[in-house]
């Protein structure tokens, strides 16, 4: 695996970010699909589509019973934890916005996200054994769910968590329908093939601010860069019924709008990283983020 150029004294980071006073868009240095159709559930066409667009969708991955289980488990977790750094609340009304490390709190959720169907696709795309880098529930209640501004997850994981390469992916499992009206995820297809750096040095303890912010001051791309990508590739709205899954590359430029519709949008996210891509020291932050945001045990 190539993560940089080794010289006698240092490793050159091929995904430089949060340094300069100007951003830049550079081609991705690593593959997107590492496995073949013979090594997992996705066929050749599906892998080609994932490579081109940066994502893959599938219906009926979760049953109605799984969905009920996940939702009630998250209710129980938030009730039990009360005030906890793993629970991120809306700034405006204290509603729960995200709950991190949910698979560690709930055996039922751990069982679901570790199923062969889900892990098998991750392993196939990443061409390696995988482990869970992060899990979270994002809740967007009707009338009151906040947006998530444009970003590449990999930019954050590289800068703040020390993830060397974008050899990781997220699986978003829909626990409610995702409509165009209730804040479904938007992806710029093809954006995963370019790395958009972000401007400004990461402050200490920054994660406490960034996760409750609708448009975080660091790790956020410039508007011109998002506009350029959207002009080139368009924007896909990823809608789907409850129980559907979206697999998307760590470096996809994505976002979601707030939810003022009456219908909640609740999604369970699980991030798989290739074991060969395990975390190092952060590439652009003074200290790594806490373990509940970026697990360091490869398992």
Among 73, 153, 161, 225, binds Fe ion (CB under 5 A): 153
> Given the complex with Fe ion, which of 42 and 246 has the nearer CB atom?
246
Using CB under 6 A, which of the segments 13-21, 25-33, 121-129, 145-153 binds ligand 6CS? 145-153
Contact between 293 and ligand 6CS per CB under 6 A: yes
Cα 75 from Cα 292, distance rounded (Å): 18
Among Fe ion, ligand 6CS, none, the one that 136 touches (CB under a kind-dependent 5 to 8 A) is ligand 6CS
Classified as helix, coil or strand, 194 is: strand
- Degrees, nearest 5: CA angle 4-129-160: 45
Contact between 156 and ligand 6CS per CB under 6 A: yes
> Given the complex with ligand 6CS, which of 120 and 147 has the nearer CB atom?
147
Strand 168-174 vs strand 4-6: parallel, antiparallel, or unpaired? unpaired
Phi-psi region of 4 (alpha: psi -120 to 50; beta: other; left: phi over 0): left
Among 66, 73, 153, 155, binds ligand 6CS (CB under 6 A): 153
Contact between 148 and ligand 6CS per CB under 6 A: yes
- Site size for ligand 6CS, by CB under 6 A? 7
Using CB under 5 A, which of the segments 20-28, 70-78, 146-154, 289-297 binds Fe ion? 146-154
Q: Please name which of 241, 121, 237 lies closest in space to residue 175, comparing C-alpha atoms.
A: 241
Task: Say if residues 140 and 279 touch (Cβ distance below 8 Å).
Answer: no
Instruction: List Cβ neighbours of 28 (8 Å cut-off, separation of 6 or more).
Output: 166, 192, 193, 194, 195, 251
Q: What are the residues binding Fe ion (CB under 5 A)?
A: 153
Q: What are the residues binding ligand 6CS (CB under 6 A)?
A: 134, 136, 148, 151, 153, 156, 293
């Amino acid at each position: 695996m190539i993560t940089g150029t080794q010289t006698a004294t240092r490793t050159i980071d091929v995904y430089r970010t949060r340094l300069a006073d100007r951003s830049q868009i550079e081609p991705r240095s690593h593959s997107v699909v590492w496995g073949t159709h013979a090594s997992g559930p996705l066929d050749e066409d599906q892998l080609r589509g994932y490579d081109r667009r940066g994502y893959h969708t599938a219906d009926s991955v979760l049953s109605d019973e799984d969905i009920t289980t996940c939702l009630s488990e998250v209710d129980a977790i938030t009730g039990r934890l009360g005030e906890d750094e793993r629970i991120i609340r809306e700034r405006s009304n204290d509603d729960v916005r995200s709950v991190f490390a949910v698979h560690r709190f709930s055996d039922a959720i751990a069982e679901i996200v570790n199923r062969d169907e889900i892990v098998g696709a991750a392993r196939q795309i990443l061409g390696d054994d995988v482990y869970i880098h992060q899990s979270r529930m994002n809740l967007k209640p009707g009338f009151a769910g906040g947006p998530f501004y444009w970003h590449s997850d990999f930019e954050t994981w590289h800068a703040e968590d020390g993830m060397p390469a974008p050899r990781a992916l997220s699986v978003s499992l829909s626990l409610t329908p995702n409509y165009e009206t209730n804040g479904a995820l938007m992806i710029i297809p093809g954006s995963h093939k370019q790395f958009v750096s972000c401007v400004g040095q990461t402050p200490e303890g920054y994660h406490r601010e960034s996760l409750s912010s609708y448009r975080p001051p660091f790790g956020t791309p410039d508007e011109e860069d998002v506009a350029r990508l959207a002009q080139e590739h368009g924007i896909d709205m990823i809608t789907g019924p409850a129980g559907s899954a979206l697999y998307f590359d760590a470096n996809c430029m994505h976002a979601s709008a707030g939810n003022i519709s009456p219908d909640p949008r609740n999604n369970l996210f699980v991030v798989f990283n290739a074991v060969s891509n395990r975390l190092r020291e952060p590439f652009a932050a003074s200290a790594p983020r806490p373990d509940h945001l970026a697990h360091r045990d490869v398992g």
